[in-house]
Structure 1
Amino acid sequence: MRVLIIDDQYDHKVIAIAKKLKSLNCISVKHVLNAKDAYDELLSTKYDLLIVDIQIPESFGDDIDENGGFNFLELIYNDKEIDIPTTIVGITGNVDSYHSNVNKFNSKGWTLHLFDGATNFINEIIEGSLRRSRDEHKFDVAFITALRHTEFDSLLSNGMQWTELNIDDCNKYYSAIFFDKDGIARKAIATCCSSMGMAVAAATSMKVIQKFNPHLLIMTGIAAGVEGKVQLGDIIIADQVWDWGSGKTQDSESGIKLLNDPNIIEIDEKLSSEMKDISSKRLYVDRIKASFQGNTPQNSLSIHVGALASGASVLADSKTIDLIKSQKRTVIGVEMEAFGVVVASKLSGSNVTKSLIIKSVCDFANAHKNDNWQKYAAYTSTSVATEIIKNHINF
């Protein structure tokens, strides 16, 4: 384990901590005196543990900044060139400094320790750091889209600072930090499928779940809406999904007939209740529509929670929509991946990853189908999903 200590003095506090770290067989313990030297060190070396004093100068010869340690941590978290240490601990021997900073540290998911001369707390830090190192590929939220173009582009432009991960995999992965409704820092991972369809979506979802063990798996993107029930750009949050092509085909007097046998899967009841509350209160929708940079439909934007059907084909005929409506009259949308994502989530193991499908209407799967509203639909879907993870999920 590599440890970097930032403290403006090489005093009893630093000496005691360094001795304790070395007694625990840390590979390397480095001490720097100011924020600039620490920044240069983090640019050149990957550290597992960062211990920073609250009161440090910006550079050699500068006066002490009473909030220098916290300001430095905020700086490196917004710098894509820095490989952030797995564990970050603030430390101070000043009681007033501790009380004025502890809430700020906690809100970021960092630890602040009031040093009283004892070093036993280092054991807990090392143990926790090792545990987090083992869990560094665990994420709170995983995003998946079907299409790289439009859908995934919209996700990577959702205001979170996405960074590409160096993972040996045929998929490209991006990670970002966001803050949940309690102000706690959370980790998100995002990828897209190599092609459309339930099979690829299920395989990609299962791989993401196995690699990153997310609390929540979200698919965003575009879908066809059932005309008369939703409007262009409207967000559909699925509370039920099924494969509309499931069943048996047989000959009949009018030709080949599909005997439907759909397996309808429902999403988590608590999630569904929260989504319906968002919909009924019309949260976020007016602001999202107003913020889109481009043409928007004349209709107002709404969120609908309801039944979403998945199938193997891109649809552009109203007769197939009528067939799907005969399976479940309350269906409000049709697309090609949701059922695969939800099945993968349900089969993910004893610690089941919850799933949400959030897609927006880009057409009505009829003869007038076109791509005019795909960018807008991808934007509304992504925007609502981003608000949901920040303001409505209990992690």
Structure 2
Amino acid sequence: MIRILIIDDSIERSQELTNILSKNQIDCYCDYCITKEEALKKLHLNQYDLVLLDIMLPDTMSKKGISDLAGLDILKAISNDRTLIKPLCVMGITSSEETYQKVINEFEKHLIPLSVWNNDENWESQFLSKIKYLNKLSNTYRPINPNKVDIALIATVDEEYLALKNLPINWIEKIIENDIGTYSIGTISCYGVEKRILISQLPEMGIAAASFMTTNIINTFDPCSIAMVGICGGKEGEVNLGDVIVADKTWDYGAGKVKINSKGEIQLLAQPNQLNINTKLKAEIIRNKSLIDNIYIKWNATNNDNKISSVKCGVLPSGSAVIASKEFIDEIVAPQYRKFLGIDMETYGVYFACENSKNDIKYVAIKSVSDLANQDKDDSYHSYCSYVSANFAYELIKKGIL
């Protein structure tokens, strides 16, 4: 099946083109838009085999409302804008002989055909020949994943996702049919190379939701790197509020066997399956820990605050419950690994999905300590920790580390 984008403000012509495809039993998917802005948005997000491009289109940025050359602007964007997903083929159409004469040289310069629409058999024959060629081509080349991104950033709660949305990136919401996920995509320049960044929010907290959504992201968006960001609980005495934990190791601290011991007490016989991040990635992050300094300095200047953070690389096991008990930490988690830095509810799910994917993916969790997992647990550090976690990940992307 080929994908066609029809950019045309004439409903009658769009319908006639659709009728031609239907009449000739062409196996295709058609997308439609009528303005330049709609067209550019779709071309940023989707891969098309063929774009049918009208020249005169509504232009919301134009005082006239209709631009004689809006289609030409789209053509230039397709040729020059590296953030657009390039279609395999473009065909220009116009009903105006005068418009045709204005733009034909520009189309020829790009080796793109332009014709005057008159709905005769000759035009229909040319159109069908192009469609049939693209159909044959689609059977011989490896399809490009139109949703492909370079890096995926995953958050859980609203404050964490808002911190990602507030990064200095122009986000465009991405809706995937029959997918419950919340997604937005943007681009940044990394040493002159455009990187497509995906941000996503889990439908709920926990290891299962994290593993499910990470697998979904891998299968749909094929990222090269995945980072989990947000907040976590820290171990008292090992970290301070606001510190950033880079999880070099994680496991499900609730995995194992529960039994009654000889004293009649419930006992967990832990069976941790430890997963580790790539050692080279870990070393690169450690070398760039000082990136955090400007992040908390900027927060303090903007919010009239005096918070401080340091980056610590260490162990962050996961469990499926919110913990506000030092006794639980001491009795259940600490015996499994003496020098762990904190706990969360999702990291193990993300790592498990990445580790068991057929793709070769760099993955890491970057969590900021918003509480010490004890009875004093509250939400006062949530906004700050969400901010520093998201921005530290962003700085690592800009440095080409993620």
Tell me the TM-score range normalised by the shorter chain: 0.5 to 0.7
Residue type at the aligned position of 1:188:
I
Q: Look up the match of 1:358.
A: 366
Matches within 5 A, 1:192-207: 192-207=201-216
So what's the TM-score if we normalise by structure 1?
0.68
Deviation of 1:230 after TM superposition, in Å, equals 1.3
Q: Look up the match of 1:285.
A: 293
Structure 1 residues 199 and 70: CA distance shift in structure 2, 3 A: closer
Structure 1 residues 158 and 44: CA distance shift in structure 2, 3 A: closer
User: Which residue of the other structure, out of 302, 315, 318, is the alignment partner of 1:307?
Assistant: 315
Three-state SS of the structure 2 residue aligned to 1:152 is helix
Deviation of 1:174 after TM superposition, in Å, equals 0.9
Q: Distance in 2 between matches of 1:370 and 1:316?
A: 9
1:36-85 CA distances to partner (integer Å, 9 max, x unpaired)? xx9579469967689xxxxxxx9989xxxxxx9689956x96xxxxxx45
Q: Look up the match of 1:143.
A: 153
Count of equivalent residues: 316
Q: Distance in 2 between matches of 1:69 and 1:305?
A: 47
2:325 matches 1:317: yes
Q: Distance in 1 between matches of 2:288 and 2:50?
A: 40
Q: Look up the match of 1:134.
A: 144
Matches within 5 A, 1:195-274: 195-250=204-259, 251-253=261-263, 255-274=265-284
Matches within 5 A, 1:84-103: 84-86=84-86
User: Which residue of the other structure, out of 340, 353, 363, is the alignment partner of 1:344?
Assistant: 353
Three-state SS of the structure 1 residue aligned to 2:291 is coil
Asked if 1 retains the 8 angstrom alpha-carbon contact of 2:149 and 2:222, the reply is yes
Asked if 2 retains the 8 angstrom alpha-carbon contact of 1:285 and 1:303, the reply is no
Residue type at the aligned position of 2:378:
N
1:236-258 CA distances to partner (integer Å, 9 max, x unpaired)? 11000011112222223161122
1:180-222 CA distances to partner (integer Å, 9 max, x unpaired)? 2x32001112211111110111111111111111101111110
Asked if 1 retains the 8 angstrom alpha-carbon contact of 2:258 and 2:268, the reply is yes
Structure 2 residue runs without a partner (length 5+): 7-27, 29-34, 52-61, 70-74, 90-108, 112-132
So what's the TM-score if we normalise by structure 2?
0.67
Three-state SS of the structure 2 residue aligned to 1:284 is helix
Q: Distance in 2 between matches of 1:176 and 1:314?
A: 32
Three-state SS of the structure 1 residue aligned to 2:288 is helix
User: Which residue of the other structure, out of 169, 176, 180, is the alignment partner of 1:167?
Assistant: 176
Q: Look up the match of 1:158.
A: 167
Q: Distance in 2 between matches of 1:362 and 1:176?
A: 28
Residue type at the aligned position of 2:86:
T
Residue type at the aligned position of 1:215:
C
Asked if 1 retains the 8 angstrom alpha-carbon contact of 2:292 and 2:392, the reply is yes
Q: Distance in 2 between matches of 1:295 and 1:257?
A: 48
Q: Look up the match of 1:112.
A: none
Q: Look up the match of 2:390.
A: 382
Q: Distance in 2 between matches of 1:116 and 1:371?
A: 57
Q: Distance in 2 between matches of 1:44 and 1:194?
A: 26
Structure 1 residues 133 and 277: CA distance shift in structure 2, 3 A: same
Residue type at the aligned position of 1:278:
N
Q: Could you tell me the percent identity over the aligned residues?
A: 31
Deviation of 1:266 after TM superposition, in Å, equals 0.8
Structure 1 residues 367 and 217: CA distance shift in structure 2, 3 A: same
Residue type at the aligned position of 1:391:
K
Q: Distance in 1 between matches of 2:50 and 2:203?
A: 36
Structure 1 residues 208 and 325: CA distance shift in structure 2, 3 A: same
Q: Distance in 1 between matches of 2:160 and 2:375?
A: 23
Deviation of 1:388 after TM superposition, in Å, equals 0.8
1:158-178 CA distances to partner (integer Å, 9 max, x unpaired)? 111111113111112111111
CA RMSD of aligned residues (A): 4.1
Q: Distance in 2 between matches of 1:267 and 1:85?
A: 31
User: Which residue of the other structure, out of 176, 181, 203, is the alignment partner of 2:186?
Assistant: 176
Three-state SS of the structure 2 residue aligned to 1:331 is coil
Deviation of 1:284 after TM superposition, in Å, equals 3.5
